[in-house]
Amino acid sequence: MTFSWDPDLYLEYADERGRPFVDLLARVAARSPASVVDLGCGPGNLTRLLTHRWPDAAIRGVDSSEEMIRRAREAVPESIDWEVADLRSWLAAAGEPVDVLVSNATLQWVPDHLALVPALVGAVAPGGWLAWQVPGNFSEPSHTLRSDLAAQPPYVEHTAGVAVPHAHDAATYLRELSALGCTVDAWETTYLHVLTGPDPVFEWVSATGTRPTLEALPDDLRPAFVAELKARLREAYPETGHGVVMPFRRVFVVAQVPA
């Protein structure tokens, strides 16, 4: 079941969503790569950072969402090449290997993405770098409350089969990449995001993990679902007096491909 992305909604928490990308990039030790690809670049605001890190490199941003790529082309005028392509199709059609391949909060949307690890490594030139970051918070209320509610009538007949993100732990990725001869740096970090405003956790998830569910619901059912989910999220993530604290675990992998 397909769904669309809203760049404006996604960018509401641009700083919080961008911090893991910065932390990931800091561990990539490439000095002067000629080619860098951001696979799953979204609206391009983070891809722009690659031009500052490696100003002499040819930078390409790839995303399956036409809405995201359109926003990237409008908002990031630098000399970045933008491409609309599904991650799997891009890997299948990849030409010359690139020196750095990064992917930020994308692989969790690709079913069975662990099977793509050899292709990801193969898309990187010998001695080059592969780095990705994925959420690791799928057992948190921000996800479980949505899935529990979506499994109840009258919603379940519309939400069965919607896209659901999934990722592995750092040890799993380390094992898979090491088996391919890569030198691997893998770790996990839990950020404590302090959010403000009305129903901030719902605003966060409605741009990402909850979006496929919301789009699958018919117009007459969606308002009741949203109201109930907001109430459950408020209970799970209460106002503390200095904002709403949302823990968010992230999984990071940086690997150097064997020369």
What is the DSSP pairing of strand 124-135 with strand 244-256? antiparallel
Domain assignments of the chain as residue spans, ordered by start: 7-256
75-89, 184-198, 225-239: least confidently modelled range: 75-89
Q: In this predicted structure, what is the pLDDT of residue 109? A: 92
Share of the chain above pLDDT 90, in %: 82
Q: In whole angstroms, what is the distance from residue 124 CA to residue 226 CA?
A: 43
Q: What is the pLDDT of residues 120-159, one digit of tens each?
A: 999 999 999 999 999 999 999 999 999 999 999 999 999 9
Asked if the model's pLDDT at residue 19 lies above 80, the reply is: yes
**CB-CB neighbours of 55 under 10 Å:** 10
Tally: H helices and E strands in the chain:
12, 7
Asked if the model's pLDDT at residue 172 lies above 70, the reply is: yes
Q: What is the pLDDT of residues 43-71, one digit of tens each?
A: 998 999 999 999 999 999 999 999 989 99
Asked if the model's pLDDT at residue 160 lies above 50, the reply is: yes
Share of the chain above pLDDT 70, in %: 94
Q: In this predicted structure, what is the pLDDT of residue 116? A: 97
Fold for the domain defined by 7-256: Rossmann fold (3.40.50)
Q: What is the pLDDT of residues 189-213, one digit of tens each?
A: 999 999 999 999 999 999 888 999 9
* Structure tokens, 156: 């379940």
Asked if the model's pLDDT at residue 228 lies above 50, the reply is: yes
Q: In this predicted structure, what is the pLDDT of residue 16? A: 85
Asked if the model's pLDDT at residue 11 lies above 60, the reply is: no
Q: In this predicted structure, what is the pLDDT of residue 77? A: 62
The mean pLDDT value for 174-198 works out to 96
Query: How many C-alpha atoms does 47 have within 13 Å on its Cβ side?
Result: 32
Q: In whole angstroms, what is the distance from residue 22 CA to residue 48 CA?
A: 11
Q: In whole angstroms, what is the distance from residue 217 CA to residue 157 CA?
A: 9
**Could you tell me the pLDDT band of residue 1, with boundaries at 50, 70 and 90?**
very low
Q: What is the DSSP secondary-structure string of 100-136? A: EEEEES-GGGSTTGGGGHHHHHHTEEEEEEEEEEEE-
Q: In whole angstroms, what is the distance from residue 248 CA to residue 116 CA?
A: 25
Asked if the model's pLDDT at residue 75 lies above 90, the reply is: no
Q: In whole angstroms, what is the distance from residue 183 CA to residue 28 CA?
A: 12
